[in-house]
């Protein structure tokens, strides 16, 4: 195989496309690298259409191979790659979304795209490299793909836009934005942000498109190196006879359908379908036409008529103005035993969002190619079939559910309290019970409300809105729609989801069905979205202006105590013995992070405080002058060792046991006795000199005398001095006089 290669500088890193040293039998293949990150893109297309296909049968998969980062999968028992991670699923969706609209409408040929990460430099996320690899593979596959597309990631750090930011720059900056587009326009957007203004976002789009065009030009240059054999697309269509029959029967007046609810519109359309079936009953029985063909043709006519009304009259199906938001209903504290709950309803779309609080140990550990991530906040989006009046098998979350859950999660993360201020793990579930468009944005609004109902002190509420578009490519006319409903989404040209606070954007997601959007159009869409978001936030604030002051009585109680990181081992104990003893005796859960934050999750206040006091005693650093209720743990000839706090012993010398002469230690204290002692001195070796005598009230002969020094414990004993009461420490020849002797 002849080696072919093109390359360029992409914001300071080498971007390279080649066909070696790895190759495949896919219709199109490419190795695309950015720095040391290498992604293999394979694209295959069947030469014939799929029999009975009712939609474009394209599948996209991104393989997040752990070996690419020199990592072995975390599970002890399963090492083989299995079900794709949520991150891999999200990247698969990002590859699919800008590619799908660039195939001929109603294509029935099967297309499969597989992008595999072969090497990851752990500096720049490989998602955009995978998107570029998919596009390049399609360009040399012969598929009827109206590409290429290019993709770049944008960051915003210290007031500066950055192309292809590192992981660190994305985490520490205010923006993590992925933009995909063609030579002419932007086609897909995905972002997490920290209250970034619309003006900065548009500037990021503009800079991203500059590099996107360079990437597209490089792909075109690469494709010219190959003798590409074109694959013809087979297009599903209807017979000319059926088209003529339906168009002759259906009048403009019949298509003039409107209604306040989805069901109102559906019933009217079903009524027209029934008339259509009755009119062509004979042709249906003779199988000249099928009911499905007739219904599809009617639906196409209806969608075109709806688009025409929006463009020419500015009227929508439910009678709203183009910028008008559907009626909003908010019901807080719906469920009595959950930690937080709220219903957010906009028009017919209803989301019930539930908050569950847990301890730090409930955080989710995500095993990714780059590193293990601990998530203390995670959002799950649930979309059952009854939400749209359908009957389907209940299965696990699909790509759409994972994508919508991730979007709502990203929207709220910048507004969450810090772990130090609120150590709880937060799990949110949005149950979409009814849907007529914008359910993901209803989940964003519901999440804010549910968190506030739960007493989570979020910084600001977040709201989301879905913007739509209807355009006429012939004359360039277009209309931007606020808060789109289901039929406007299906028949429209754009689904642009914008979430944020009153001060800025926190999350973006845009999909389009046309070949691209201009920056001017996107600027107007963001401005219109800001107005709609502000309206929704006002409605939310009128019901729940701030977070509840108290948590639910059913929520776990969490207490924090910060200790010196050097003392973590003291709390854990040998083999975990100490921490296990605390959790068992107090009935709590404990988590300690590397910074020394000890988090105690308890069923009640008493249990929690008991554990906190235990930790305080373990990690307490005694100070001279402190008084303790100690326990005698060892008796020697020269004094008694007293445990002041757990794990810390000090010596009460025999001369400091009582304010009168003591001949034998056991005359005053015995093993296990509780005694009150005062810390008199900490010597150079960190040993504690204690006194019981000073707390009893010494006689005049003893007043002002300092405590005796620690005996040398390694020698094991101290001799009494002749003619006096003070000790002679072996090896020192130092005699201490008492009472003038």
DSSP string, 182-251: -SS-EEEEEEEEEEE-HHHHHHHHHHHHHHHHHHHHHHHHHHTTS-PPP-PPPB----HHHHHHHHHH--
How many beta carbons lie within 10 A of that of residue 14, not counting itself? 12
* 3 state DSSP class of 395: coil
Of 359, 447, 454, 453, the closest CA to residue 409 belongs to 447
Residues 6+ apart with CB under 8 A from 664: none
Checking if the pLDDT of 719 tops 80, the result is no
Q: In terms of domains, do 604 and 631 share one? A: no
Q: Which two tokens stand for residue 666?
A: 């056991």
- With beta carbons less than 8 A apart as the criterion, state whether 99 and 92 touch: no
pLDDT band at 729 (very low <50, low <70, confident <90, very high): very low
Q: What is the pLDDT of residue 279?
A: 93
Q: In terms of domains, do 35 and 161 share one? A: yes
**Percent of the chain whose pLDDT exceeds 90:** 77
Between CA 141 and CA 155 the distance in angstroms is 33
Q: Please check whether residue 510 lies inside any domain of the structure.
A: yes
- Where residue 191 sits, what CATH number does that domain have? 3.30.230.70
Q: In terms of domains, do 525 and 637 share one? A: no
* 3 state DSSP class of 365: strand
Q: Please check whether residue 320 lies inside any domain of the structure.
A: no
Residues 6+ apart with CB under 8 A from 584: none
Q: What is the pLDDT of residue 372?
A: 81
**Percent of the chain whose pLDDT exceeds 70:** 94
Q: What is the pLDDT of residue 333?
A: 97
CA 533 to chain centre: 22
372 vs 609, higher pLDDT: 609
Q: Which two tokens stand for residue 192?
A: 């997490």
Q: In terms of domains, do 98 and 125 share one? A: yes
Q: In terms of domains, do 636 and 722 share one? A: yes
- Where residue 602 sits, what CATH number does that domain have? 3.30.1370.10
Q: Please check whether residue 319 lies inside any domain of the structure.
A: no
CA distances from 363 to 75, 108, 480, 500, 577 (A): 17, 44, 41, 25, 24
Q: What is the DSSP letter of 517?
A: B
Report the pLDDT averaged over residues 453-457. Answer: 97
Q: What is the pLDDT of residue 697?
A: 66
Report the pLDDT averaged over residues 708-736. Answer: 32
Q: In terms of domains, do 449 and 510 share one? A: yes
Q: Please check whether residue 550 lies inside any domain of the structure.
A: no
Report the pLDDT averaged over residues 466-490. Answer: 94
Q: What is the pLDDT of residue 78?
A: 81
Q: In terms of domains, do 343 and 464 share one? A: yes
Q: Kindly tell me the burial class for residue 701, based on how many C-beta atoms sit within 10 Å of its own C-beta (0-12, 13-18, 19 or more).
A: exposed
Q: Please check whether residue 607 lies inside any domain of the structure.
A: yes
Angle at which helix 127-139 crosses helix 86-99, to 10 degrees, equals 40
How many beta carbons lie within 10 A of that of residue 432, not counting itself? 24
Between CA 676 and CA 378 the distance in angstroms is 50
Query: How many angstroms separate the first and last alpha carbons of the chain?
Result: 105
Q: In terms of domains, do 44 and 70 share one? A: yes
CA dihedral 321, 323, 324, 325 (to 10 degrees): 150
pLDDT tens sequence across 208-232: 999 999 999 999 999 999 999 999 9
Report the pLDDT averaged over residues 102-128. Answer: 95
Element (H, E) at 294: helix 291-312
pLDDT band at 647 (very low <50, low <70, confident <90, very high): confident
Angle at which helix 198-223 crosses helix 519-543, to 10 degrees, equals 140
Q: What is the pLDDT of residue 19?
A: 96
Out of 359-368, 453-462, 624-633, least confident range: 359-368
Domain boundary among 253, 288, 312: 312
Question: Which of 256-265, 444-453, 709-718 is the most confident on average?
Answer: 444-453
User: Strand runs (DSSP E) across 290-375, as ranges?
Assistant: 328-332, 340-346, 349-358, 364-367, 372-375
Checking if the pLDDT of 711 tops 60, the result is no
Q: In terms of domains, do 296 and 208 share one? A: no
Checking if the pLDDT of 728 tops 80, the result is no
Q: Please check whether residue 76 lies inside any domain of the structure.
A: yes
DSSP H helices in 509-658: 519-543, 568-572, 577-586, 605-619
Report the pLDDT averaged over residues 376-403. Answer: 94
Q: Please check whether residue 738 lies inside any domain of the structure.
A: no
Domain boundary among 508, 543, 578: 543
Q: What is the pLDDT of residue 718?
A: 34
73 vs 639, higher pLDDT: 639
User: What is 658-699 written as a DSSP string?
Assistant: -SS--S-GGGT--TT-EEEEEEEEE-TTSPEEEESGGGT---
Q: Kindly tell me the burial class for residue 180, based on how many C-beta atoms sit within 10 Å of its own C-beta (0-12, 13-18, 19 or more).
A: buried
pLDDT tens sequence across 284-336: 998 888 998 999 999 999 999 999 999 999 999 999 999 999 999 999 999 99
Between CA 442 and CA 734 the distance in angstroms is 83
Checking if the pLDDT of 479 tops 60, the result is yes
Q: In terms of domains, do 335 and 194 share one? A: no
Pairing of strands 109-119, 58-63: parallel
Checking if the pLDDT of 546 tops 70, the result is yes
pLDDT tens sequence across 234-292: 998 888 999 999 999 999 999 999 888 888 999 999 999 999 999 999 999 988 889 98
Residue indicated by tokens 């299995």: 82
Q: What is the pLDDT of residue 118?
A: 97
- With beta carbons less than 8 A apart as the criterion, state whether 130 and 39 touch: yes
* Mean pLDDT across the chain: 90
Pairing of strands 727-728, 719-720: antiparallel
Whole domain around residue 601: which residue ranges? 557-619
pLDDT tens sequence across 329-343: 999 999 999 999 999
Checking if the pLDDT of 103 tops 80, the result is yes
pLDDT tens sequence across 59-77: 999 999 999 999 888 777 7
CA 238 to chain centre: 45
- With beta carbons less than 8 A apart as the criterion, state whether 388 and 435 touch: yes
pLDDT band at 553 (very low <50, low <70, confident <90, very high): confident
Instruction: Tally the domains of the chain.
Output: 5
pLDDT band at 415 (very low <50, low <70, confident <90, very high): very high
Domain boundary among 619, 646, 672: 619
Q: What is the DSSP letter of 107?
A: B
pLDDT tens sequence across 117-127: 999 999 999 99
* 3 state DSSP class of 329: strand
pLDDT tens sequence across 14-53: 999 999 999 999 999 999 999 999 999 999 999 999 988 8
Q: Which two tokens stand for residue 242?
A: 């059926």
Q: In terms of domains, do 109 and 217 share one? A: yes
Q: Please check whether residue 164 lies inside any domain of the structure.
A: yes
Q: In terms of domains, do 122 and 208 share one? A: yes
């Amino acid at each position: 195989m002849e080696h072919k290669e093109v390359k360029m500088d992409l914001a300071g890193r080498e971007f390279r496309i080649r066909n070696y040293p790895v190759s495949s039998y896919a219709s199109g293949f490419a190795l695309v690298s950015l720095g040391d990150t290498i992604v293999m893109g394979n694209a295959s297309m069947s030469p014939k259409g799929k029999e009975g296909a009712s939609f474009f049968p394209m599948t996209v998969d991104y393989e997040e191979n752990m070996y690419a980062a020199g990592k072995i999968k975390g599970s002890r028992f399963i090492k083989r790659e299995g079900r794709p991670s949520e991150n891999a699923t999200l990247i698969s969706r990002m590859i699919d979304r800008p590619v799908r609209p660039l195939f001929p409408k109603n294509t029935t040929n099967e297309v499969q795209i597989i992008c595999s990460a072969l090497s990851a430099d752990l500096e720049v996320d490989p998602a955009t490299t995978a998107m570029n690899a998919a596009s390049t593979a399609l360009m040399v596959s012969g598929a009827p793909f109206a590409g290429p597309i290019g993709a770049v990631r944008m960051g915003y750090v210290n007031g500066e836009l950055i192309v292809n930011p590192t992981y660190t720059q994305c985490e520490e900056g205010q923006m993590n934005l992925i933009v995909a587009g063609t030579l002419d326009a932007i086609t897909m957007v995905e972002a997490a942000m920290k209250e970034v203004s619309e003006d900065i976002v548009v500037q990021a789009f503009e800079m991203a498109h500059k590099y996107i065009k360079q990437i597209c030009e490089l792909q075109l240059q690469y494709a010219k190196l190959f003798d590409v054999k074109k694959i013809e697309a087979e297009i599903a269509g209807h017979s000319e006879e059926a088209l003529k029959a339906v168009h002759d029967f259906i009048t403009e007046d019949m298509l003039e359908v409107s209604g306040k609810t989805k069901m109102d519109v559906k019933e009217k359309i079903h009524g027209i379908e029934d008339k259509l079936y009755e009119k062509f009953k004979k042709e249906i029985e003779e199988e000249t036409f099928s009911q499905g063909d007739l219904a599809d043709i009617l639906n196409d006519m209806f969608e075109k008529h709806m688009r025409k009304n929006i463009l020419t009259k500015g009227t929508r199906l439910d009678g709203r103005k183009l910028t008008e938001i559907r009626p909003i209903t908010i019901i807080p504290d719906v469920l009595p035993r959950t930690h937080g709950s709220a219903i957010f309803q906009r028009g017919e779309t209803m989301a019930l969002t539930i908050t569950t609080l847990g301890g730090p140990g409930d955080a989710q550990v995500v095993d990714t190619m780059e590193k293990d991530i601990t998530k203390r906040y995670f959002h799950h989006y649930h979309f059952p079939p009854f939400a749209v009046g359908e009957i389907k098998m209940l299965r696990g979350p699909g790509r759409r559910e994972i994508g919508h859950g991730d979007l709502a999660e990203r929207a709220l993360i910048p507004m969450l309290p810090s772990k130090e201020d609120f150590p709880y793990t937060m799990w949110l579930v949005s149950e979409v019970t009814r849907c007529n468009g914008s359910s993901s944005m209803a989940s964003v609004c519901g999440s804010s409300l549910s968190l506030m109902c739960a007493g989570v002190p979020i910084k600001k509420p977040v709201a989301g809105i879905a913007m739509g578009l209807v355009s006429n490519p012939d004359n360039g006319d277009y209309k931007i729609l606020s808060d789109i409903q289901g039929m406007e989404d299906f028949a429209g040209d754009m689904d642009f989801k914008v979430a944020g606070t009153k001060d800025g954007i926190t999350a973006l997601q845009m999909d389009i069905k046309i070949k691209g959007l201009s920056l001017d159009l996107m600027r107007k869409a963001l401005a219109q979205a800001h107005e709609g978001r502000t309206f929704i936030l006002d409605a939310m604030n009128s019901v729940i202006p701030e977070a509840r002051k108290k948590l639910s009585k059913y929520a776990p109680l969490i207490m924090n105590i910060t200790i010196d990181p050097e003392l973590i081992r003291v709390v854990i104990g040998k083999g975990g013995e100490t921490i296990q003893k605390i959790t068992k005796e107090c009935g709590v859960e404990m988590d300690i992070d590397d910074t020394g934050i000890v988090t105690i999750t308890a069923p009640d206040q008493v249990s929690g405080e008991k554990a906190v006091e235990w930790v305080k005693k373990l990690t307490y650093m005694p100070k001279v002058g402190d008084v303790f209720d100690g326990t005698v743990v060892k008796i020697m000839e020269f004094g008694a060792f007293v445990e002041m706090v757990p794990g810390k012993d000090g010596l009460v010398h025999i001369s400091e046991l009582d304010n009168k002469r003591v001949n034998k230690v056991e005359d005053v204290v015995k093993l296990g006795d509780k005694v009150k002692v005062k810390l008199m001195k900490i010597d150079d070796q960190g040993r504690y000199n204690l006194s019981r005598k000073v707390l009893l009230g010494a006689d005049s002969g003893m007043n002002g005398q300092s405590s005796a020094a620690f005996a040398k414990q390694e020698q094991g004993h101290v001799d009494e001095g002749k003619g006096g009461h003070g000790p002679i420490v072996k090896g020192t020849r130092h005699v201490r006089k008492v009472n003038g002797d």
